[in-house]
Structure formats: structure tokens, C-alpha cells
Amino acid sequence: MENLNLIDTFSEFKDLKSIDRATMMSVLEDVFRGMLVKMFGSADNYDIIINIDKGDFEIWRNREVVEDGEVTEPNMQISLSEAKLIDEDYEVGEEVTDEVKLLDFGRRAILALRQNLTARILELEKNNIFQKYRDRIGDIITGEVYQVWKREILVLDEEGNELILPKTEQIPTDYFRKGDNIRAVVVRVEMRNNTPLIILSRTSPVFLERLFELEVPEIFDGLIIIKKIVRIPGERAKVAVESYDERIDPVGACVGMKGSRIHGIVRELKNENIDVINFTNNLQLYITRALSPAKISSIKLDEKNKKADVYLKPNEVSLAIGKGGLNIKLASQLTGYEIDVYRETDYSDEEDVNLEEFADEIDGWIIDEFRAIGCDTARSVLSLNVDDLVKRTDLEEETIREVLKILKAEFE
């Protein structure tokens, strides 16, 4: 019964499915030999037999038989008279093999052995988790929320390994409680204080890419290629796709019948708006598609400085810019061009008035609201009706009507 505690440790060890049998045997033998070296100075003459399945082990010592009184190394030699106590047939020069009981090492040695074995098991387990997840960077992981803290969420995978989802890697509208299932992508794996730290993300473009692979078989099979993804998590994303098979409509395949495929992704991303566009090497066409749903009248490109001047009808400007400037910002990121929006007008510049000229009649914060939707002149505001202005700004209808009255008076 002296090795009962060690057998318990064996059970813990053999239950680790991530550790292969050869590694397990090697570590166990290494721990036992380390103990023997510490006690006897050498372990070369010991045979260690380990039965992982039963959680048991045996230690056998091999010693050379020498004449009585000639034993110089008790660990390597045994006197003839002592050998004959084991078996009467032993002669000088032969090798005696006898089993060494763990009880002979003493309680302190057994305790040290168990602690050493437990430490090695833990170290091996940590290294295996580190290697496993380092190879899974960029993969989607499904786990269970175990603990929710202010700055991060602790997630357990199917094997009980601890993963971290920081607040900065969560979609702003994410809300999880203990026990919820959660999907995220592995973005970083590192060792901190000899402990593997696996960082998950739901805001990474890679997460959106993997969701498309799960929902769209053509992407998974390589028939459709995602050229680039840009996103503002929880708000809006733009995905450029391309297919080398002319029979496949990449945008249609990604959206699915009546939006069936894209809806699953949108729900996972907490109703994030996703624009899927056809990639093209034609820069003007690419920029036009990137600014969807706005309709572009003309584009002037400065390829040297990576700039694009886009001209639109006044009622299309706010669509191109998008709420809070998100649409034009993502279009710039997607195309790699700095995009400036200009409105086409039937009036000359002399017939229009910059909104800043009305600073003595209209509050600055109200002017900022109009500029945020691409309206920085009086006629650009007047080109939109009251309902459009209410929808696209955070202003009250009464305030908008008052502003329109002031602007109209300027031209009357």
C-alpha cells in the first residue's frame, strides 16, 4: 500500500488524452530515475517497469556478486553471502537482480517523488495545451462561459482548458452569462509565468472570415475567395469576394437564398451590417462598389498618393458617408485609397453658402450634426427633405425645420 498515493497520480496522468503513450512512459521513467540518482548517485543499473494501464510500477536493481568483504560500491555490488540468501546458486561474477520496494526509500522520498511527478504532469499538460492552441490560431473555438469579469470572460473548452476573451475583443453589444455557449477565434497564444494564455476574439476580421467559411460551402471549398475584410465590430463590415468560376456568383452565394446564409452570420455578430461586394482590379469600379449603397456619378483617381475624389448627387452624399462616417471609412480601408466625397450641384459655388457662415444663428453642435452626414453648405441641406434629415441625424424635427427656415431665408 506504500505506493497508493503514486497510483492516484498515475491515474491522473493516464487520463490526459492529449499526452501520447511514449511521452508518458518517458516522463515517468525520467522521474523515477531522477529519484534513484539523487539517492544512490547513479541509476544505470536499475530497470524500471511501468504499467500505465494499471497505474503500477516495479523497480529492479542489478548488482554484481563479489567475494565477501570486497564490496566497494553497495549500489553496484553485492557480497556472495548476501546473494546466496536470495538464491543458493549464485556465484562470484554473476549478476543479481532483486526488486526494490518503494517502502525502502522512506516516506520523505516517496512524498518528494509524488510532488515531482505531479509537477512534471502539470508542466507537460501546460506545454501540450500551448502547442495545441498555437497550431489553432485563426480557428473558431466553441466554449462555455465559466466566469464573467469586468475586463474579460473566462471560457472553458470541451476539455476544460481555460481560454480568455478580453473586453477589448468583444463586440460592444455582446452580453454573456455563466453557462452560455460562445464562439470566438483564437488570435494569440503565449506563455505567461509558465502558464499558457489563450486569447480569443470576436472583433477580429478573421472571426468574420471563419464564419463565412462555416456558412458558405463555396468559400470552404475554395470556389470563392475572400480577398479582404474590414469591419467596425457590432456596426458594419465590408467583405470583398471573388470567384474564378464564371458560373458562380460570389455575392449571391455568400448572401444565400433570401439572405439565409448571411443572416446566420449577422445574428452571431449581434446584427452587424455586412456588405458583400465583388472584388475587381478596376479601381474605379472597386471604389464604386465599396461605397455601396451610394450611387457614384464620377471618380478622379490619384494613384500616386492613393487618393480618390468621388462626385455624387447631393441626395447620395449622406449614403456614401454613412452614419457616423462608417461607410466611407470602411470603403477607404477596403480599397486602400483615401476617399473624399464631393457633391455635384446645379449651382455655382458663388450661389451656395458654407454652414459656418450661419454660426450666429445656428448652434455649432447642430452644424456639426449636418456636417457628419456630408452636408456642409446651405444648399446641400436644402437638397434633403425633413424626413431624410430626421433619419440621418440625431436632431429633432422641430430643430430641423427651424434650420431650414433660416437657410431658405438666405436665398430669398
pLDDT digits (tens, 9 = 90+) for 70-99: 787 877 888 888 888 887 878 888 888 877
Q: Are residues 22 and 101 in the same domain?
A: yes
pLDDT at 4: 47
The pLDDT assigned to 90 comes to 80
Q: Which grid cell sits at 386?
A: 425633413
- CB neighbourhood size of 98 (10 A): 14
CATH of the domain at 17: 3.30.1480
pLDDT tens per residue, range 268-310: 999 999 999 999 999 999 999 999 888 888 888 888 889 999 9
339 within 8 A of 332, measured Cβ to Cβ: yes
Same domain, 101 and 20: yes
Q: Which residue has the higher pLDDT, 146 or 63?
A: 146
Q: Give the confidence band of 2 by pLDDT, cuts at 50, 70, 90.
A: very low
Question: Which residue, 77, 108, 132, sits at the end of a domain?
Answer: 132
Q: What's the rounded mean pLDDT across residues 50-77?
A: 77
Q: Spell out the alpha helix ranges (H) of 222-351.
A: 250-255, 260-268, 283-290, 314-321, 326-335
Phi, psi values for residue 378, rounded to 5°: -65, -45
Query: Is the N-terminal amide bond of 293 cis, ω within 30° of 0?
Result: yes
CA distance 314 to 293: 14
Long-range Cβ contact pairs of 179-183 (< 8 A, separation 24 or more): 179/144, 179/145, 180/144, 180/145, 181/142, 181/143, 181/144, 181/145, 182/142, 182/143, 182/144, 182/145, 182/153, 182/155, 183/140, 183/141, 183/142, 183/268
Q: How many CB atoms lie within 10 A of CB 288?
A: 21
Distance CA(11)–CA(53), nearest Å, equals 9
Same domain for 112 and 176? no
Nearest to 200 by CA among 146, 239, 271: 146
Residue 241 lies inside a defined structural domain of this protein: no
Q: Is residue 232 part of a domain?
A: no
**For 104-119, what is each residue's pLDDT tens digit?**
677 777 777 777 777 8
Q: Distance between CA atoms of 66 and 255, rounded to whole angstroms?
A: 86
Q: What is the pLDDT of residues 121-157, one digit of tens each?
A: 788 888 888 988 999 999 999 999 999 999 999 999 9
Q: What percent of the chain has pLDDT over 70?
A: 91
CA distance 146 to 133: 19
**Residue 347 pLDDT grade (very low, low, confident, very high; cuts 50, 70, 90):** very low
Residues 38 and 118 in one domain: yes
DSSP 8-state class, residue 53: T
Contact 317/380 with Cβ under 8 angstroms? yes
Domain endpoint, select from 108, 132, 156: 132
Query: Quick one: pLDDT at residue 162?
Result: 92
Task: State the residue for C-alpha cell 454613412.
Answer: 322
CA pair distance 358, 409, nearest whole angstrom: 11
pLDDT at 61: 81
pLDDT tens digits for range 374-388: 788 888 888 888 888
What domain range includes position 359? 349-411
Together in a domain, 122 and 144: no
Distance of alpha carbon 382 from alpha carbon 374, whole angstroms:
13
Cβ-Cβ contacts under 8 Å for 220 (sequence gap 6 or more): 213, 214
Which segment of 2-6, 82-86, 367-371 scores lowest on mean pLDDT? 2-6
Residue 402 lies in a domain: yes
Domain count within the chain? 3
Mean pLDDT of the 189-214 span: 93
Cα–Cα distances (Å) from 133 to 58, 84, 129, 151, 362, in that order, read 36, 58, 6, 22, 58
Distance, in Å, from the CA atom of 13 to the CA atom of 223, rounded to the nearest integer, reads: 45
Q: Which residue among 132, 157, 184 closes a domain?
A: 132
Residues 140, 128, single domain; the answer is no
pLDDT digits (tens, 9 = 90+) for 153-171: 999 998 888 999 999 999 9
Q: What is the pLDDT of residues 220-266, one digit of tens each?
A: 999 999 999 999 999 999 999 999 888 899 999 999 888 889 999 99
Q: Quote the crossing angle between the two packed helices 21-40 and 4-14, to the nearest 10°.
A: 150
Other C-beta atoms closer than 10 Å to the C-beta of 137 total: 14
In a domain, 332, yes or no: no
State the burial class of residue 112 (Cβ atoms within 10 Å of its Cβ: 0-12, 13-18, 19+): middle
Q: Are residues 110 and 170 both part of a single domain? A: no
SS3 label, residue 82: helix
The SS3 of residue 335 is helix
Residue 184 lies in a domain: yes
| Alpha-carbon torsion angle 74, 79, 84, 86, nearest 10 | 0
* pLDDT at site 31: 79
What's the whole-number average pLDDT of the chain?
84
Residues 59 and 142 in one domain: no
The pLDDT-based confidence of 328 (bands split at 50, 70, 90) is very high
